[in-house]
Amino acid sequence: MAYSDKVIDHYENPRNVGSLAKDDANVGTGLVGAPECGDVMKLQVKVNPDTGVIDDAKFKTFGCGSAIASSSLATEWLKGKTVDQALAIKNTDIVAELSLPPVKIHCSVLAEDAIKAAIADYKKKQDEQKTGTSVGTHAQPTA
Amino acid sequence: MKLPIYLDYHATTPVDPRVLEAMLPFFTAHFGNPASRNHAFGWEAEEAVEGARKQVADLIGANAKEIIFTSGATEANNLAIKGVAEMYREKGNHVVTCVTEHKAVIDTCKKLEKQGARVTYLPVQKDGRISLDDLRAAITDKTILITIMSANNEIGVLQPIEEIGAIAKEKGILFHTDAVQAVGKVPFDVTKAKVDLVSMSAHKMYGPKGVGALYVRRRNPRVLLAEQISGGGHERGMRSGTLNVPGIVGFGRAAELCRLEMAADTQRLSKLRDRLNEKLHKNLDEIYINGSQEHRLPHNLNISFAYVEGESLLMGINDVAVSSGSACTSASLEPSYVLKALGAGDDLAHSSIRFGLGRWTTEEEVDYVVEKLTSVVRRLREMSPLYEMAKEGVDLSKMQWVTH
């Protein structure tokens, strides 16, 4: 399969690989996908609680080159956006930017899911902080 | 050293220059049709085909009359399985095969099922081999055929062919083996294996594409097949169609070279394969060999690199030609059914790479591949959330994943 130049660029020079402190109340973590499906994305945002702007975003992805590129691109786009602007990012924007072929559309869907999951986690933490309940991360091992 | 490096010899092999040399005159000077019985052009072609038939037969300890040339092993598998099912319909309608067979066998069996036959797909054990107890238990008085491959095309695992042959013989059931990956690479003898039908392919043994053969036992028992391609009654009436003379001549020469050079090739390639394996294990943790190490083709290695997805791995080693069991690299978007059958978990199937070494693989190439793979696996693991979680002590098998 031929990859677009942008996919290759993100694969070879991924932006914002890494992890943020997941227990930080201003950090939202999204973990989507499953190892047996061949792709898992962890995407994190760090939000300035005063402005609601995403100051930092990091990712780690287990998946094909297109999955890596989709999440790398997502972190690039997230930085500097407000939480609401971030939620407006659509998987089709990622498909268009990376010229993903039809068989790789699920990679972009997963990236959109990861963004939504990270922001939901951030909002949940903020709510919990206000009500004083404990802070938890997105995915938990079962008993 | 020339790039890219080819380590996908299970997919196909280049034609050996000595094979090509043997073939060339049969495109031009000796172009005759071996079925032309009344002139020199035909005689010349027939003589060449009969010579090749003997060369192929000699490789597997058969008689030349027992070799039926086909367009390849897919056709040979179809002819063997459908031909037996049709010919022995009165005797029974049950076929025993196994879940890790090549699609040319599995899909042929599925077709028979649609036509009313019953098929048992034996599971494999963790090492990729079938259990002989399972085989015995599957046999009924309606069983007419056992079809089990000699060597697997993904994991290189050798099935216990001689033991299967003994069981088939004891029960009076015909035994077919798809030996595409084994013949020419490891010793194979139709008498020792007690096998009745054997599928082979030229392009897996340094011959040309588009030609294969089916060995059909003529004695003890004399195996009969219903022809699947009708026409001029070529190949003892089992496979009509004008013979692919240059291809057959090439197949013959390729078989002869394999017979003469197998011992040396095997020794050299198993050393290189072990070097590849040992160096990868030295450099990287959490890598797992798929399938038996003991019962394995000398030139095959199939490894899962935990926490790294296969297609992204291939992308990182784009000057090395190998295959992956990852879903993303398959047309069906499903991970390898062979690896899944080993029961190691789908995640390891997604992380697998198949290496197939061959006649022109060098030590320098193996070392290059090791270095390249090591750095790519390390880089991708740094990028892998699974690797991070595993290092933090999270049991990945106990996670509740948000699937999509």
CATH architecture classification, B17-258 = 3-Layer(aba) Sandwich (3.40)
**Which tokens is B99 given?**
């879940």
pLDDT tens-digit profile of A34-93?
998 889 999 999 999 999 999 999 999 999 999 999 999 999 999 999 999 999 999 999
- Residue A131 in any domain: the answer is no
- Is residue B356 within 8 A of residue B7, CB to CB? The reply is yes
Contact B257, B16 (CB under 8 A): yes
Is residue A143 a part of any domain in this protein? no
Distance CA B166, CA B139 (A): 13
pLDDT at A13: 96
Relative to beta strand A53-62, strand A39-48 is antiparallel
For residue B394, give how far its alpha carbon lies from the nearest alpha carbon of chain A (Å).
8
Domain extent at residue A49: 5-126
pLDDT at residue A1 above 80?
no
Provide the residue type at B80 as one letter: A
A113 touches chain B (CB under 8 A): yes
Structure-block tokens of residue A95: 């498909």
Nearest-5° Cα angle at B37, B35 to B40:
105
The C-alpha angle B159, B165, B167, rounded to 5 degrees, equals 110
User: Which structure tokens are listed for A25?
Assistant: 């109340």
Write the CATH number for A35.
3.90.1010.10
Q: How confident is the model at residue A129 (pLDDT cuts 50, 70, 90)?
A: confident
Quickly tell me which residue has 């078989």 as its tokens: B255
Number of domains within chain A = 1
Structural domain contains residue A58: yes
Please tell me if residue A2 touches chain B, with a CB cutoff of 8 Å. Answer: no
Contact between residue B87 and residue B225 where contact means Cβ atoms under 8 Å apart: yes
Nearest-by-Cβ selection for A68 from B312, B350, B400: B312
pLDDT range class, residue A2, cuts 50, 70, 90: confident
Pairing mode, if any, of strands A39-48 and B5-6?
A: unpaired
Let me know: does B248 contact B281? Beta carbons within 8 Å: no
Task: Count contacts between A and B (CB, < 8 Å).
Answer: 100
Which residues on B lie below 8 Å from A43 (Cβ)?
A: none
Chain A, nearest residue to B388 by Cα: A60
- Tokens representing B182? 């084994």
Which residue type, as a one-letter code, is found at position B375?
Answer: S
Cis bond before residue B4 (omega within 30° of 0) = yes
Q: Is position A77 within any domain?
A: yes
**Is some CB atom of chain B closer than 8 A to the CB atom of A65?**
yes
User: Domains of chain B: which residue ranges?
Assistant: 5-9+261-398, 17-258
Mean pLDDT, chain A, rounded, equals: 91
pLDDT attached to residue B348 = 87
Instruction: Tell me the shortest Cα–Cα distance from B327 to chain A, in angstroms.
Output: 7
- What are the distances in angstroms from CA B318 to CA A55, A79, B311? 36, 32, 10
Residues of chain B predicted below pLDDT 50: none
- Partnered with residue B302 across adjacent β-strands are B354
Cα distance between residue A11 and residue A5, in whole Å:
10
Q: Which two tokens stand for residue B204?
A: 């897996």
* Contact check, Cβ <8 Å, A141/B402: no
Active-site residue flag, A64 = no
CB-CB neighbors (< 8 A) of B333 in chain A: 103
- Segment holding B58, helix H or strand E: helix B40-59
Give the H or E element holding residue B144: strand B143-147
DSSP B159: P
- In chain A, which residue's Cα lies nearest the Cα of B352? A38
Q: What is the per-residue pLDDT for A143? A: 40
**Complex ipTM value:** 0.89
pLDDT recorded at residue A6: 96
- Own/partner long-range contacts of B118-123 (Cβ < 8 Å, ≥24 apart): B118/B93, B118/B94, B118/B142, B119/B94, B119/B95, B120/B94, B120/B95, B120/B96, B121/B97, B122/B96, B122/B97, B122/B98, B122/B148, B123/B98, B123/B99, B123/B341
Fold of domain B5-9+261-398: Aspartate Aminotransferase, domain 1 (3.90.1150)
Instruction: State the smallest CA–CA distance between residue B305 and chain A in angstroms.
Output: 12
Which residues share a beta bridge with A27? A46
Domain for residue A132, yes or no? no
Q: Does residue A138 register a pLDDT over 80?
A: no
Is residue A138 assigned to a domain?
no
Question: Looking at per-residue confidence, does A137 or B68 come out higher?
Answer: B68
CB contact under 8 A, B326 and A34: no
A139 — pLDDT class (breaks 50, 70, 90)? low
∠A14-A18-A21 over CA atoms, to 5°? 155
The three-point CA angle B322-B325-B330 to 5° equals 90
pLDDT band at A141; cut points 50, 70, 90 = very low
Within a 13 Å sphere around the CA of B313, how many CA atoms are in the beta-carbon half?
31
How far apart CA A22 and CA A28 sit, in angstroms, is: 7
Question: pTM score, two decimals?
Answer: 0.93
Q: Do B315 and A31 touch (CB under 8 A)?
A: no
